[in-house]
Every structure is written in C-alpha cells, then in structure tokens.
Structure 1
Amino acid sequence: MTLGVEEEFLLVDPRTGEPSPHGREVVEAAKRRFGVELDEELAAAQVETKTPVCHDLADVRRQLHGLRLVAAETAHSLGDRLLAVGVAPVGGPDVRTSDPDRYRGLAEDYGMLAAEQSICGCHVHVGVPDLETAVQVCNHLRSWLPVLGTVTANSAFARGRDTGYASWRSVVWSRWPGGGPPPYFTSVAHYESACELLMTSGAARDQRSIYWDVRPSSHLPTVEVRVADVAATVDEAVLLAALVRGLVATALADLGRGLPAPVVPNEVLRAASWRAARDGVTGLSLDVQSHQLVPTRLLLDRLVHRVQDNIDDGDVALIRQLMSTMDTNGDGATRQRRAFTRAGQMSDVLDHLASDTLSGNEGWTGGPFQHTA
C-alpha cells in the first residue's frame, strides 16, 4: 500500500528565535543547490517537504531524513534555522504571508485568521482505488483522529510562554473554517454536497482549501490525514505514518467484509480533539465510544491492536519499538517543557527543537542528498 508524507517546517532567526520570512528563498536555493523541490506555505516563514510515493516505512524514513537535511542545510546557508515545531515558540502571532496568488487570496478571504496561521503540520497520504472508497475510508478513520493527533503533539510554547497545551497548533487550527473532523458521509454525493456548501458560503475557496482532519485528496488518489503537528523527529513521523497506513488497511478490510464505520457525532470528536490537544500522549483522552477519560496510552494500545492483523509483522514490531521510545522520552511537547525547565530559557527550547529536527542524522557529513522519485 503506497504512502507519502508532507511536513511543514518553521524558519527562525537563530539570534532571536522569531519567524524568518525567507521561505521563497529557501525553496529556490534548495532547487538550485540540491535539485530538490520544496514548497512555500501560507506563512512566508515556512517551507514544506513532500516525499515521493513510498512503498514501505524504511523508504519513508530515508526520504524524511534526506528532505530534512536539505531543508535545514539550505536554511542555514541563508542565515536561518529550521525547526520541526507546530507553532512558533517565540514571536507572532502575526506573520507575513507568502506571495503566490493562492496565498494572497487566502489572506484576502480570511483576514487576521490567515495572518495568524503560522502553524506546521504533518500530512500522511495513503493510496486508495477511487473516490467512493476514499469517502468510506474517511468514515472509518474519523473515530481515531484525536488519538492520532497525540502521537506528534509538538507545540507547547507560543509567544515565549507555555500555552498549557501539548498541541497549541491544534487549538489555533480549530478556528479555521472547513477544518476539524469531517462529517460522517453516507455517499459520495453527500461528500460532494458538503464540499459545495463550504465553497458556496465562502468558507472554502475550492476543494483544496477544505481542510478536514481526514479527507479524500483533491488532486491525488489518496486519503489524507491532516490532524497532526509536524513531528519533532523523523521517527515520530514514521510512527504516525505507520499507524495511519494501518488504519487505512484495516478500513479497506472492513469495507471488503461489508462492515460499517462507527457513527461518532462531530461534537464528541471535537471534544476529544480538544482534550488530545491539551494533554498529548502523556495525559488523558476522551474515549469516543465510552465517553470516559482514559489514559491516552491505553487508546494507542487499542489502536495498535485494531490494525495489527492488517499490516506486516515487521511494521507491528516497528510501531511497538517507536512507541516504547515515546514512553521513555515523552512526546515533543513534553521534551520542550523539559528543555525549558533546565534553565527557564526559551533559547534552550529552540536549541532542543533544532536538535530533534535532525535527530538520526548526526553522522551526516554535508554531502548532497539524492532524492529519488
């Protein structure tokens, strides 16, 4: 089953830690120096990487490592620092938006909402046969969205202070029209009518700007899960990709057996998403079936149990290994707070984030990354 991962990163001034609006320059320099295509984002202080189509998790990991190296080295060469973090820990919230027409249009449509939208997520695409299948798979994934959001919770600080949340990005993102958990769709026609309503109202410009936490991609034959912060480390991104692919594989198996997806009301999913954003992996989550608070780690174990019969034994072993590492180290937000506690300095948080961003690449000698499609 094919998959791909998109990661958004923040560019900051290494002296002040504030967002640095050089996304376009980094994109152009990465293409010129390494032949690697990066993308601009809504905020000028962001860049996005996209893996090619991958067929296994080892390839996902290799691609993510290489792309982070290219983006970090290119940013460094231009005097900036690349951070894998959900929101800017220092500065903001107002940011300069990028110049391309699409982003100028979003800024015109959404005003200050767009101006404060400097957030970085991780999007996982998994291949599916067609739109009808994609819509039904999304129904099956809905109930797991809050749990998936805890895996890479990585935005504890904003404007130089602790937000009280593991994923402040999720809270900021919840204001965006057309975001959050999607409705439960009874058919492709129901899905298309919901999209049409958002576009007619002006809440979305087009299908690409309907940003549900899981959605059929508007331009690829995939289901796209968008609920997560950008992962602090490559390993955490790989863990997220593995869980998402496992859930899609399980959904396809259920569809083949004619099993319907559970109908979870949107208000329950929104409450669960808020709790997940607040606590991350190390706290409590709302079980959307029992409506009780339970340890998040218990729900993650249930997720693994749910998917393990539909993925390779090697992937199950990798998921358990990566989850064990997370048990030891905590999620990205926990590690940010730990770094701050050492001396009470935001500079320590920024240094930690920069180290986590390139974790696993310590032996890199500066040679060019060969990006294969």
Structure 2
Amino acid sequence: MATHPTIGVEEEFLLADPASGEPVAVNETVAGHAAERGVELQLELTSCQVETATEVVGGTAELTDQLLRLRRVAAEAAAAGGARLLAVGLPPTVPHEFPITDTPRYREIAERFGMIAHEQGICGAHVHVAVPSREAAIRVSNRLRPWLPLLLALSANSAVYRKADTGYATWRSVLWARWPSAGPPPHFDSVDEYDAVVQMLQHAGAMLDDGMVYWDVRPSANFPTIEVRVADVPATVAETVLLAALTRAAVMTALDDERRGEPIPPLAPHALRAAYWKAARDGLEGGAVDLAESHESAPARTLLRRLVERVRPALEAVGDYDLVAAELERVAEQGNGAMRQRRAWQRRHDVDDVIAEAAAATLEGT
C-alpha cells in the first residue's frame, strides 16, 4: 500500500439503570438524544445496548479524540434517557433475559437462535484496518490467528457477571462462542473458499446473512478493509487506542510477511482453541500459549511484549511505538478492565462497586 493503512473503531456499550445497575431497554431513546447532539448511535440486538463508530482516521491522535468525544456524547445521551453508559464486556448484573431490539431482522435472529440471542447483551470492540483487497484480507486473517488470543487477553473486561466473579477474565468471549459463526476464523486458501463456507452456513441456517459472519477476523463485504473483532470493549479509551494501534501494526506486519512470501506456520485447531480458553480464563494475570513460536506457556504480559517487538517496524512506521510500549506497561502494571472489576468486587463483594468502577473508567480522560 502506498500509504499507511487507515483505521476505524466501533465500540459497543451497555445501558444500565443508574440505581440498580441492571440493563435497561432504552437504546432507541438514547440514540435519539445522541442524534440531537450530532452523534449517530447504532442499535444492537438487545435494546439495552448501543454502538459508536469513529470516522476513518489516519492516526491514533485523531482516533483518541474521536473515541473520547463519542463516549462523552453517548454518556450524556444515556443520562438524558435515564441510563448510565458502561464500557463492559458483560453487564455485572442481568435480567432473566435481554429484551430484543424491535426490528424485523433482530426478531428473526431471536426466533431462530432462541436463548443464545436472549442472553446476548455482550459488548465488544471492532477495529477496521484498510487492506488492498478482499484477497489480501483473507491472507492477513490467516496470519493473524496466532495473535488473536493475546489481543483477547489484553482487552479482557468481563470478569463479573450475574453478581459473581465468573473465574474468567473475559466471560463475554465464552458466551460469544456459542454462536455457530463466532470464534477464531478458519484458515481459508482463497476468497472463493471463504465465500463458499459463508454460503454453506447460510444454507444450513447457522446465519441469516453476511452480517452474521461473527468470526473474530473477517473481510468487509463492501470495503477494502479487514475487521478484527476479538476484543471485549476495553474499559478506557486509552486501552481501546492501544488495541487499535497494535491491531493495525499486526495487519501491516502480516501484509509485509505476505509480500515477502514468509510461510504461515501450521496452527492446529485444538491449539488455537486451547489458547483462546487460556486467554479467556487468565487474561493478563496468568499464562498464555505462545502460538507464534514455541506453543509453550509463558506469562501473557511477556508474550504481549514479544508481540509489540514483532510488529515494532510497523509501529515505528506510523509513529505509534512509544505510545503502545508505554500504554502496555501501564496496563500491565495497573490492570485492564477485568482486573479493575475484580479489585472492585473483592472490596465488599458488592456489584455496585463494580458498576461504579466501570462507569468511571468508561469516561476516563473525557
């Protein structure tokens, strides 16, 4: 590519009752208040969620400004609608089931997938990076697979659910994996193979349309971009920017490896599944599986530092290395969203403390 690839980020948020912390079904009302403030919020499957989307940007400084503004305006709109905006992978306290947003498509999804849909209520972050073509997106996807568990561990932000410590750093990723088209992307030899698999899943009833390709990496159907969607929505804007910068550098590195004809090391499905489970279970606080080299366990923080060094040429090319290195060390020392949640929970085992911590982190820096 002649220039550095552009990026864009989508963040999903929970709308919670300010008093009880339970999800509240006011997404249409909140979206209306946001529109009055010049921000378009997307409605998600459940009516207690909204999604923001940045514009396409060239650098992390502009991305930071947009993410801060979007969170601030979304929080103001939520307050105007009688809710509190939370950047959490899962609501710490939940109803029996989540109300479904009243659109024909979402009603059909709920009817077909039953309790999977009604227990959705999960919030992720999706990073879009420009690539030359859909063919390039497929090749990049194949090369990103060993690094996906590390991005999951980095962003983990759903440790507390149903007023309890789940024992996982990201319980969102465990619930998300129940969808038949979710999880790590398969290895595809070509765009034709990718399209054939998507068509097969649609014919089997496992998805309604291309919009239900829920793999953690997918090519855009309409634009020359690749979407990396493995992450919990991070607790803070700074962590989202770290995730986006590291993701773009990983995509750039994969493109460079492809141009140089570097072989793709074989990656067995069971090894990738084990690494995903380990990342979901431990997040940043334990070990992770080194899928890129040894396939042995090492501290997650160590493997993330290795990933930063692996993609360092790309980070330096776009001027992001110092930012990424410093923010990774800050997160490693102070904790990500899951670690914040656990610290808050362990004080009194009171979910109100977790919600207050999440609310503060959501607007940190705004």
Which category describes the TM-score, using the shorter chain as reference length?
Answer: over 0.9
Aligned with 1:133 (options 126, 133, 136): 136
Confirm or deny that 1:342 pairs with 2:347.
yes
- Asked if the contact 2:30/2:80 (under 8 Å) is kept, the reply is no
Q: How many residues align?
A: 360
Which amino acid is 2:90 matched to? V
Give the superposition deviation at 1:343.
2.6
Whole-Å Cα distance in 1 between the matches of residues 354 and 86 of structure 2?
Answer: 11
- Asked if the contact 1:132/1:188 (under 8 Å) is kept, the reply is yes
Whole-Å Cα distance in 2 between the matches of residues 352 and 209 of structure 1?
Answer: 32
Whole-Å Cα distance in 1 between the matches of residues 217 and 322 of structure 2?
Answer: 26
- Asked if the contact 1:153/1:331 (under 8 Å) is kept, the reply is yes
Confirm or deny that 1:112 pairs with 2:115.
yes
Give the superposition deviation at 1:105.
1.4
Which residue in the other structure is 1:369 paired with?
none
Whole-Å Cα distance in 1 between the matches of residues 144 and 229 of structure 2?
Answer: 12
Give the superposition deviation at 1:342.
2.2
Which amino acid is 1:301 matched to? R
Whole-Å Cα distance in 2 between the matches of residues 66 and 310 of structure 1?
Answer: 27
Confirm or deny that 1:256 pairs with 2:259.
yes
**Mapping 1:1-373, distance limit 5 Å:** 1-31=5-35, 33-92=36-95, 94-288=97-291, 289-312=293-316, 314-361=319-366
TM-score (norm 1): 0.94
Q: Which runs of 5+ in 2 are unaligned?
A: none
RMSD: 1.1
Quick check: 69-78 or 283-292, which moved more? 283-292
Q: Secondary structure at the match of 1:7?
A: strand
- Asked if the contact 1:86/1:154 (under 8 Å) is kept, the reply is yes
Which amino acid is 2:307 matched to? L
Quick check: 5-14 or 288-297, which moved more? 288-297
Q: Which runs of 5+ in 1 are unaligned?
A: 362-373
Which amino acid is 1:161 matched to? A
Amino-acid identity (%): 51
Quick check: 262-271 or 109-118, which moved more? 262-271
Which amino acid is 2:117 matched to? A
Encode CA deviations 1:292-345: one digit per residue, 9 max, x unaligned: 221001110111111111232630110011011112211111111111222321
Give the superposition deviation at 1:98.
0.4
Give the superposition deviation at 1:291.
3.0
Give the superposition deviation at 1:189.
1.4
Whole-Å Cα distance in 2 between the matches of residues 310 and 353 of structure 1?
Answer: 32
Which amino acid is 2:98 matched to? V
Encode CA deviations 1:84-127: one digit per residue, 9 max, x unaligned: 00001002351001012221111111011100011000000000
Give the superposition deviation at 1:27.
0.9
- Asked if the contact 1:10/1:46 (under 8 Å) is kept, the reply is yes
Give the superposition deviation at 1:258.
1.6
Cα distance change of structure 1 residues 259 and 291 upon mapping to structure 2, 3 Å threshold: closer
